[in-house]
Amino acid sequence: MIKVLVAGFKGRMGTTTTNMILENPLFELVGVYSTSATEKNINEIAEYKSENVPVFNELEKINIKADVWIDFTIPGAAFENVKFAISKHMSPVVGTTGLTEDNLTELKKLSKLEKLGGLIAPNFGISAVLLMQFAQQAAKYLPDVEIIEMHHDKKLDAPSGTALNTAKLIAKVRQPKVQGNPNERETLPGARGAEFEGMRIHSVRLPGYVAHEQVLFGGNGEALTIRQDSFDRISFMSGVAVAVEKIGTHEELLVGLENLL
């Protein structure tokens, strides 16, 4: 069995992940971590009263051995969490978005030094991975593109990691270009959204949404829209399970679930 520690287990994604690990016969939950936790054992929570799993609220007090560290925390904490996991030879599987390019560079370097596999994925949904791949293919023929991502109103970072990764994948097959009227003027600052190599990215934050993305392409006399919707966080769990199962066969930090599919 693959021994797993879940960081951020009290959040919505963390809770869903914790339940998936407990239900999967291939995995063993050996610890959970949250800075807001006051419990010593997960069985102090009614939902988990039949389990016996230690709870930690400080990194330096984590004293168990795990094969995989799953991180669904917040952008400000994930970097230090993943550095800690690598130092303890736990393969990180990270769904927390908002890490900088400098963060990724340092984590990749540490992972290579340890010869330890790891994954940072902006999205664990299979449909989201397919959307990114389809969008990259479409951009070869329709280079005028805008991205709209829609998430729940509790999300901390904007744009989403999925939208930013979509733009980066498109940029690999598309030359930077100015879109729209070169003399356009925003009468309200930000009306045209964030800019990435000429592409525009728009972020929507509303209650009731989970995770959704549209990639809009425009051409002469035609348009193409690719859309992906995650209606429930359970949709991400198949991707998380794949990552936990496969990451031990690698010796470096990968970015994007597509690297394991």
Tell me if 162 is assigned to a ligand binding site.
Answer: yes
Tell me if 205 is assigned to a ligand binding site.
Answer: no
Tell me if 78 is assigned to a ligand binding site.
Answer: no
On the CB side of 196, how many CA atoms lie within 13 Å of its CA?
19
Tell me if 13 is assigned to a ligand binding site.
Answer: yes
Question: Is residue 54 classed as helix, strand or coil in its secondary structure?
Answer: strand
Tell me if 12 is assigned to a ligand binding site.
Answer: yes
Tell me if 121 is assigned to a ligand binding site.
Answer: yes
**Sign, CA torsion 106/254/2/46:** positive
Residue 155 annotated in active site: yes
Strands 91-94 and 118-120: parallel
Tell me if 8 is assigned to a ligand binding site.
Answer: yes
Residue 212 annotated in active site: no
Contacts of 140 (CB under 8 A, 6+ apart): 173, 174
Tell me if 9 is assigned to a ligand binding site.
Answer: yes
CB 249 within 8 A of CB 108: no
Catalytic residue among 88, 155, 168, 250: 155
> What are the C-alpha distances in Å from 167 to residues 139, 144, 171, 194?
10, 12, 6, 11
Q: Binding site for NAD(+): residue ranges?
A: 8-13, 44, 95-97, 121-124
Q: Binding site: residue ranges?
A: 8-13, 44, 49, 95-97, 121-124, 152, 161-162
Question: Which residues participate in catalysis according to the annotation?
Answer: 151, 155
Q: Binding site for NADP(+): residue ranges?
A: 49
